[in-house]
Amino acid sequence: MSMKSFYLTDAGKVRSHNEDSVIVVRNQDDDYLLAVADGMGGHRAGEVASSIAISYLGKHFQDTFRDMKKEDAIEWIRDAVKEINRLIFNHVDNHPESKGMGTTLVLAISSKDYVLFGNIGDSSGFAMKEKQLYKVTYDHTLVNLLVTAGELTEEQAKDHPKRNVLMKALGANNPIEVDIFDCDKEVTDILLCSDGLTNMLDIESIERVLLSDFEVEDKVIRLMKKAMNRGGTDNISIAYLERVPREKKEGEE
């Protein structure tokens, strides 16, 4: 399995600064971690919260993620998210002016034996299988809760005035439990993004770009440009991993 990755983040066309953080990191076993965090809170506290999440995850992955079976990797995700939540609450205790800060977090771990997603909030994780893109994660928003309960339709949810109200975020809920999704290891692409992308582009538009013949970097740049052209009303972050199965040599089973 060969891997190609790229990530980008941008403040967008409307916001004065970027509260998103994003990372793609590979360890010595060729496992990959992708993560996107969309921060919130005044006094630039949102970018502090998202930075705490992404900085901790990247270092922790490099330092501790070694030869992990799937069950151990799931526990690793749960423990990492709990520690990030503790770090954010600790920061608020020491910096009262940052009260109310928090962040979403969507992450994916790709190894040769499994693909796992973790999610809190309304950043999104997608997986491509057999040339079809699927949204893996579930948004922890008020409108999504209402849609699930049958009180709103998908169409009504798109333009609902409270569509950005989160029901769960790091720094807002304690204790916190991360949603974990166990995907088929045969997925060929992993895409994580903040809602700055998904509010501008639907899944079909994203899928068309990922299925194009462009290089990994160009696909991510094209998604960013398309979101900007649609308005770029929020910070936009994208982390993308193309998982290319190794071609068998002649005579191999």
Per-residue pLDDT at 155 = 85
* Domain-located, residue 229: yes
Count of structural domains within the chain: 1
Question: In terms of C-beta density within 10 A (0-12 exposed, 13-18 middle, 19 or more buried), how is residue 8 classed?
Answer: middle
Residue numbers of the domain that contains 167: 2-244
DSSP 35-69: EEEEEE-TTTHHHHHHHHHHHHHHHHHHHH--S--
Number of H helices, E strands in the chain: 7, 11
Looking at residue 163, its pLDDT comes to: 81
Residue 77 to residues 71, 87, 136, 241, Cα–Cα distance (Å): 10, 15, 16, 19
250 in a structural domain = no
Q: How far apart are CA 11 and CA 39, in angstroms?
A: 12
Q: What is the pLDDT of residue 44?
A: 79
Does the predicted model carry a pTM greater than 0.85?
yes
Per-residue model confidence (pLDDT) at position 64: 97
Structural domain contains residue 252: no
pLDDT of residue 250: 53
Instruction: Output the DSSP codes for 180-240.
Output: EEEE-TT--EEEEE-HHHHTTS-HHHHHHHHTSSS-HHHHHHHHHHHHHHTT--S-EEEEE
- CATH number of the CATH domain containing 133: 3.60.40.10
Residues of the chain where predicted confidence (pLDDT) is lower than 50: 248-249, 252-253
Look at residue 246 in the predicted model and tell me its pLDDT.
57
Closest Cα to residue 232, out of 7, 9, 8, 14?
14
Please name which of 77, 36, 39 lies closest in space to residue 60, comparing C-alpha atoms: 77
Does any domain span residue 122? yes
Residue 135 lies in a domain: yes
Q: Tell me the residue length of the chain.
A: 253
Asked if residue 236 is part of any domain, the answer here is yes
Is 249 within a domain?
no
